Structure 1
Amino acid sequence: MTPFLSLNSIEMRYNNHVALQLEELEFEPQKIYSLVGSNGCGKSTLLQIIALLLKPTCGQMIFEGQKVVWKKHDLQQMRLNITLVHQSPYLFSRSVRHNIAYGLKLRGIHAKEQHQLVHEALEIVGLDGFGRRNARELSGGEQQRVAIARALVLRPRLLLLDEPTSNMDRASIDAFDQLLPTLVDQGMTIIQATHSPDQPERLRSTIIRMEDGRLL
Structure 2
Amino acid sequence: MVQNLLIISCVIFVSLLLVAEYRASVGLVSGYLKWLSKPAASLVFVLLALAGGALETSYGIWILAGLVLCMAGDIFLIPNAEKAFLAGMAAFALGHLAYIGAFLGTGPEISGLFLIGSAGMTAMAILALRWLWPTLAAFRAPVAAYSAIIAIMVATSFMASPGNSSAPNLTVIAGAIGFAVSDLAVAREKFVTQKFFNKLWGLPLYYGAQLLLASSV
TM-score bracket, normalised by the shorter chain, equals 0.3 to 0.5
Normalization by structure 2: what TM-score?
0.38
Q: Which has the higher strand share?
A: 1
Normalization by structure 1: what TM-score?
0.38
- The higher relative CO (CA closer than 8 Å, separation ≥ 6) is in 1
